A and B are shown apart, each in its own frame.
Chain A
Amino acid sequence: MDYIIQGLLQAFQLLFSGDAETYSAVAATLIVSSYAMAASLLFGIPLGFALGHFRFPGRRQVRLIVDTLLSLPTVFIGLIVYAFISRQGPLGQMGLLFTLPGIAIGQTILALPVVIALSATAVESMDVNLRTTLLSLGAGRRQLLQSTLWEARHAILAAALTAYGRVMTEVGISMMVGGNIKWHTRTITTAIALETNKGQFALGIALGLVLLLIAFVVNGSVSFLRKK
């Protein structure tokens, strides 16, 4: 029990004393998750939209694969990405191992199925009368797509938040691909894993609370935007 109270106190201490190690991990977490989210939304929303909107042969099979990929374990992604970007691997020359963009690649793979599956569901569950309404108001093909996407914006935002939650909290990819290098690729979650390994449970809990706080700020701003 002591750990929890100590952790709570330490969380505030870390944040308000501007502890450099903590803020380095916070920055790494934010940078990496921003890259991963930008990439997964950029590719995931159009793909998810296409999957939910168009009827094409093999659509159900594709959907099954995407849904299966929702269960990708993060350490497995970490391992695969490591195998690719290790200097001996096919992409080794790019020097991505132990870098934040390297982690971001893994996290994009993690987030992409979430974004695709949830935005496909969002588009699928749109009101059947939407299409009729848009066409009857004179929308062309492109406007039909744009407006449908815009109508689905709330559900897609929820998809993005879900993906963000997974990305922010994963530890397997960050550890495997990033190497948990202090000041560079140490994210909040790998720092928690390290502190736990070192037996510093209170510090681990404090870092966990910091992560929650960030998640709270992100969700708070989104729910503020949503009202608009």
Chain B
Amino acid sequence: MKPLNSLLKLKLLLPLTLVLLCGPAWAADAPVLMMATTTSTDNTGLLDYLKPYFEKATGIELRWTATGTGKALAMGQNCDVDVLLVHAPPAEMKYIADGYGQNRREIMFNDFIIIGPAQDKAGIKGKSVADALATIKAKQAVFVSRGDNSGTHKKEKSLWVAAKQDQPEKESWYVQTGQGMLASINIAAEQSGYTMTDRGTYIKYAHDKGGNPPLAILVEGDDVLKNQYSVIEVSPKNCANAKADLAHKFSEWMAGAEAQKLIGDFKLMGKKLFNPNAK
């Protein structure tokens, strides 16, 4: 009993002491670039995949906090981050016009899809986005919305407008989760409802479910479903202490050949998640 005990203790303590000995993490020497991004780039693992290449290429340590596009933009406005990687073009344009950001650079895109239970009781499979939304509304099928002012939520709201439908709000079939994409997909699955998601997150979700997800892709390929990701540097005119040079290097690197190839090669379950499209 005793040797086992001490062995366990050792195994427990060793990594812990190592981590503690490494000292407080915020005291690292490398220049640190702070980014606010959306949950989709983080949850899919894309950033974890790119981070070491970026650091090797530039010697800059990349840190990010993953949140909705709405909060990410607010963090940039409050000068809490140096750079943004977001996906809500109209909001981004306004943000730059307001003087909070600069040098918006398109990096990559994936597309949004509408998913729902494989049985598809409302019968939206293969329809256009406008028809699908009209059908869901007419049949009062459960539709899960992020409801968190994120890029995805903004996109979804724009689709209701494009479909010439009143934006649902309090309707009982319209569920606003206020949570991240994967959490919202899970909620849709629990309620046998429909939802709109970016493809990347869906692939990740399908992967987590062992390739046999309860929710299937029902609507895809419509032009309005394109999901453009861009890097925006926080404007040093608004934020004197923003690390504009580091932000610019990140923007350059992301648009550069190495990163673009890496993004194109990033696969989950053999499926490509993002399409690089930097100009």
Contact = CB atoms under 8 A, between A and B. Distances in A.
Give yes or no for direct A-B contact (beta carbon below 8 Å).
yes
23 contacts: A15-B11, A15-B12, A16-B12, A18-B11, A20-B15, A23-B18, A27-B16, A27-B20, A86-B78, A86-B79, A86-B80, A88-B80, A99-B26, A100-B26, A180-B65, A181-B64, A182-B63, A183-B25, A184-B63, A194-B66, A197-B180, A197-B183, A198-B182
Contacts of B65: 98, 179-181
Sort A-B residue pairs by CB-CB distance and give the 6 closest, nearest first. A179-B65, A87-B79, A27-B19, A197-B180, A18-B15, A23-B15
B186 interface: yes
Nearest to B47: A182
A196 interface: yes
B179 interface: yes
Contacts of B182: 197-199
Contacts of A197: 39, 43, 179-180, 182-183
Contact of A100 (B24, B77, B205): B24
Given A180-B66, A184-B26, A16 B185 contact: no
Contacts of B26: 99-101, 184
Given A101-B26, A182-B63, A199-B186, 19 more contacts: A16-B8, A18-B14, A23-B15, A23-B18, A23-B19, A24-B25, A87-B79, A88-B78, A97-B80, A100-B25, A179-B65, A180-B66, A181-B64, A181-B65, A182-B48, A184-B26, A194-B66, A198-B208, A199-B185
A115 B18 CA distance: 31
Contacts of A99: 26
B34 interface: yes
B262 interface: no
B130 interface: no
A30 B77 CA distance: 32
B241 interface: yes
A16 B15 CA distance: 10
A169 B99 CA distance: 40
A39 interface: no
Interface string A76-102: 000000000011110010000111110
Interface string A20-33: 10011011101100
How many B residues touch the partner, as a band?
35 or more
B79 A16 contact: no
A42 B235 CA distance: 41
Contact of A198 (B43, B77, B80, B239): B43
Interface in A110-149: none
Contact of A98 (B16, B77, B80): B80
Interface string A151-165: 000000000000000
A200 interface: yes
Given A86-B80, A87-B239, A197-B183, A184 B12 contact: no
Contacts, number: 81
Contacts of B180: 197-198
Given A18-B14, A87-B78, A92-B79, A200 B208 contact: yes
Nearest to B63: A181
A95 to B, nearest CB: 9
Interface string B200-226: 000011001000000000000000000
Interface string B153-183: 0000000000000000000000000011011
A22 to B, nearest CB: 9
A179 B204 CA distance: 22
A87 B80 contact: yes
Residue in A28, A100, A101, A197 with the greatest tally of chain B CB atoms within 10 Å: A197
A203 B26 CA distance: 26
Given A97-B80, A98-B65, A197-B183, A31 B11 contact: no
Interface string B1-18: 000000010011011101
A174 B106 CA distance: 32
Contacts of B8: 16
A184 B51 CA distance: 14
Contacts of A92: 79
A182 B25 CA distance: 11
Contacts of A18: 11, 14-15
B49 to A, nearest CB: 13
B234 to A, nearest CB: 10
Contacts of A30: 16, 20
A180 B37 CA distance: 12
A92 B81 CA distance: 12
Interface string B51-91: 00000000000011110000000000111100000000000
